[in-house]
Amino acid sequence: MTTRIGNWFDDRLGWRRVWEAIFKRRIPKVNWWYTLGSATLFVAVNQIVTGILLTIYYVPTPDHAYDSVQYIMTQVPAGWFIRGMHHWGASAMVVLVGLHMLRVILYGAFKYPREITWLTGVVLLLVTIGFGFTGYLLPWDQKAFWATTVGTKIAGAAPGVGDLILRIMRGGEELSAVTLARFFGVHVWALPAALLILVGAHLYLVIRLGISAVPKRGK
């Protein structure tokens, strides 16, 4: 019965070929360092799920942002847990993406034919840092406010275009409701969209090219 249903769908969707291409690949003998990309992906999914849940109660305005976070922490059932998962997941993702990149560098896995996998990875690293930077402001407490004041000021010190960058980031001269709205928009819409597209391209290439083998000593 289940095979018949499976066949019915396969005739129409061709899903078996896709399934086999993803899960029945032949791979060289690898080691635990090769799990770091998947670990990063796992945490990224955690960030998306817990992030969506947080937006149900979080309010991105100076009047309500701080209180809405307090409400999540003290009143919403398991709110502290969801926020904790998102908070620590953010740090874990930065660490894991860094270690994954280190593995790729040390194994020379960025070389032909994986240059484009590497390039999509570099942008994924920037996206991950962007998530951290924009997310830090959202609790709208003293730490968030001053860290972003300093962070945007540093970006503003860039020669020539610095002032323009600072104004674009802050949405004016100073940190304000506009800055918070801007950071929220980037954090929950622009960066997740970029992440999904880039992860899609990254994994497509990993599957298409196959995983690189562990480099041998000598020769």
Q: Which residues bind ligand HEM (CB under 6 A)?
A: 34, 36-38, 40-41, 44, 97, 100-101, 104, 109-110, 114, 117-118, 121-122, 124-125, 128, 199, 202, 206, 211-212
Q: How far is the CB of 163 from ligand HEM (least distance, A)?
A: 30
Q: How far is the CB of 89 from ligand HEM (least distance, A)?
A: 12
Handedness of CA 129, 131, 132, 137 (dihedral sign): positive
Q: What is the DSSP string of 126-142?
A: HHHHHHHHHHHHTT-SH
In the complex with ligand HEM, the residue whose CB is nearer, 83 or 114, is: 114
Cα R_g (the chain), whole angstroms: 21
In the complex with ligand HEM, the residue whose CB is nearer, 6 or 113, is: 113
In the complex with ligand HEM, the residue whose CB is nearer, 125 or 190, is: 125
- 3-state helix vs strand vs coil in the chain, percent to 5: 75, 0, 25
CA pair distance 41, 127, nearest whole angstrom: 13
3-state SS class at 118: helix
Q: How far is the CB of 166 from ligand HEM (least distance, A)?
A: 27
Q: How far is the CB of 131 from ligand HEM (least distance, A)?
A: 9
In the complex with ligand HEM, the residue whose CB is nearer, 139 or 192, is: 192
Nearest to ligand HEM by Cβ — which residue?
121
Q: Is 52 left (phi over 0), alpha (psi -120 to 50) or beta?
A: alpha
In the complex with ligand HEM, the residue whose CB is nearer, 73 or 190, is: 190
Q: How far is the CB of 41 from ligand HEM (least distance, A)?
A: 4
3-state SS class at 39: helix
